[in-house]
Amino acid sequence: MRRNRSWQWMFCVLFIVSSQICLRADEPYARSRDYDLQHSSVVLRFDLEQKKVIGEVTHTVSPLREGLDKLSFDSVGLQIQSVKVSKSEVEFKTTENRLIVSLPRVGKIGEKIDVEIKYECKPTKGLYFILPDKNYPNRPKQVWTQGESEDTRYYLPTYDYPNDRLTTETILTVPAEWLTVANGKLISTTDAGRGMKTWTWRESQPSSTYLFTVVAGEFSEVRDTWRNIPVTYYAPKDRGDRLTVNYGRTPAMIDLFSKRLGVDYPWEKYAQSMVDDFVAGGMENSSATTNTASSLRSPKLVPEFPMDEDGLISHELGHQWFGDLVTTKDWGNIWLNEGFATFMEYVWMEAHFGKEQADYDRWETVRDWFQMRNLYAKPIVRHDFDDSSEFDQNVYAKGGLVLYMLRHQLGDDAFYSGLKHYLEVNRGKNVVTADLTKAIEEATHRNVDQFFDQWVYGAGAPKFEISYIYDAEKKQVALTVNQTQKAEGRVGLFRVPVDVEITNATGPKLYPVVVSKAEEMFTFPSATVPEMVIFDKGTQILKSVEFKKGKKELLFQLKNAGELGDRADAAVSLGKLKADDEAAAALGEALRTDKTLGVRLVAAVALGNLDSPAAAKQLLGAIQGAKEPELRSTIVQTLGTFKDNLEISAKLEEIANQESSYRARAAALQAIGRMKTVKAYETLTAAVIGDSPDGFLSNAALRGLGSLGDDKAVPLLREWSMPGKEIPSREAAISSLARLQRENKEITNQIAGYLTEPHFTVRMSAIFALGTRGDVSAIPALEALLKSNDLSIEMTPMIREQIDRLKNPGKGSLGAHAEMNTEGPEESAKGGEDQRLSHLEDLVREMNERLKTIEGRLPPPKQ
> Are the beta carbons of 67 and 40 closer than 8 angstroms?
no
Residue nearest to Zn ion (CB): 341
Segment interacting with Zn ion (CB under 5 A) among 174-182, 204-212, 335-343, 358-366: 335-343
Closest distance of CB 553 from Zn ion, Å: 41
Closest distance of CB 316 from Zn ion, Å: 7
What value, to the nearest 5°, has the Cα angle with vertex 857 and ends 851 and 861?
110
Our finding on whether 1 is near Zn ion (CB under 5 A) is: yes
- Looking at beta carbons only, is 2 or 382 nearer to Zn ion? 2
Alpha carbon dihedral 612, 614, 615, 620, in 10-degree steps, equals 130
Closest distance of CB 347 from Zn ion, Å: 14
- Looking at beta carbons only, is 289 or 633 nearer to Zn ion? 289
Closest distance of CB 341 from Zn ion, Å: 4
Residues in Cβ contact with 518 at an 8 Å cutoff, skipping those fewer than 6 apart? 482, 483, 493
Closest distance of CB 338 from Zn ion, Å: 5
Residues in Cβ contact with 155 at an 8 Å cutoff, skipping those fewer than 6 apart? 53, 55, 78, 121, 123, 126, 127, 145
- Looking at beta carbons only, is 2 or 805 nearer to Zn ion? 2
Report the side by side order of strands in the sheet with 35-47. 88-89, 79-85, 113-121, 52-63, 35-47, 166-175, 196-207, 185-193
Task: Report which secondary-structure segment, H or E, holds 645.
Answer: none
Closest distance of CB 7 from Zn ion, Å: 14
Closest distance of CB 749 from Zn ion, Å: 38
- Looking at beta carbons only, is 173 or 287 nearer to Zn ion? 287
Closest distance of CB 858 from Zn ion, Å: 20
CA distances 274 to 236, 239, 245, Å, are: 7, 10, 14
217 bridge partner residues: 142, 179
Our finding on whether 397 is near Zn ion (CB under 5 A) is: no
Segment interacting with Zn ion (CB under 5 A) among 337-345, 434-442, 471-479, 540-548: 337-345
- Looking at beta carbons only, is 338 or 356 nearer to Zn ion? 338
Task: Report which secondary-structure segment, H or E, holds 459.
Answer: none
Residue type present at position 577: L
Segment interacting with Zn ion (CB under 5 A) among 61-69, 237-245, 306-314, 333-341: 333-341
* Interaction residues for Zn ion, span 468-507 (CB under 5 A): none
Our finding on whether 341 is near Zn ion (CB under 5 A) is: yes
- Looking at beta carbons only, is 316 or 630 nearer to Zn ion? 316
How many residues bind Zn ion (CB under 5 A)? The answer is: 4
> Are the beta carbons of 362 and 313 closer than 8 angstroms?
no
DSSP state of 863: -
- Looking at beta carbons only, is 284 or 630 nearer to Zn ion? 284
Segment interacting with Zn ion (CB under 5 A) among 94-102, 340-348, 413-421, 732-740: 340-348
Binding-site string for Zn ion from residue 551 to residue 570, where x marks contact by CB under 5 A and - marks none: --------------------
Closest distance of CB 143 from Zn ion, Å: 23
Q: Residue 826 phi/psi, 5° resolution?
A: -60, -50
Segment interacting with Zn ion (CB under 5 A) among 13-21, 212-220, 330-338, 481-489: 330-338
Segment interacting with Zn ion (CB under 5 A) among 2-10, 487-495, 655-663, 764-772: 2-10
CA distances 699 to 134, 213, 654, 665, Å, are: 23, 33, 19, 11
Segment interacting with Zn ion (CB under 5 A) among 1-9, 27-35, 221-229, 507-515: 1-9
Closest distance of CB 537 from Zn ion, Å: 31
Cα separation, 209 vs 158, whole angstroms: 8
In the chain the first and final C-alpha atoms are separated, in Å, by 30
* Interaction residues for Zn ion, span 590-609 (CB under 5 A): none
Closest distance of CB 5 from Zn ion, Å: 12
- Looking at beta carbons only, is 2 or 839 nearer to Zn ion? 2
Cα separation, 443 vs 440, whole angstroms: 5
Closest distance of CB 313 from Zn ion, Å: 12
- Looking at beta carbons only, is 53 or 334 nearer to Zn ion? 334
Query: Is residue 223 left, alpha or beta, with left meaning phi > 0 and alpha meaning psi from -120 to 50?
Result: beta
40 bridge partner residues: 59, 168
Which of 179, 281, 285, 149 has the alpha carbon at shortest distance from 240?
Answer: 179
Segment interacting with Zn ion (CB under 5 A) among 209-217, 341-349, 355-363, 819-827: 341-349
Residues in Cβ contact with 71 at an 8 Å cutoff, skipping those fewer than 6 apart? 34, 35, 61, 100, 101, 103, 113, 115
**Interaction site with Zn ion (CB under 5 A):** 1-2, 338, 341
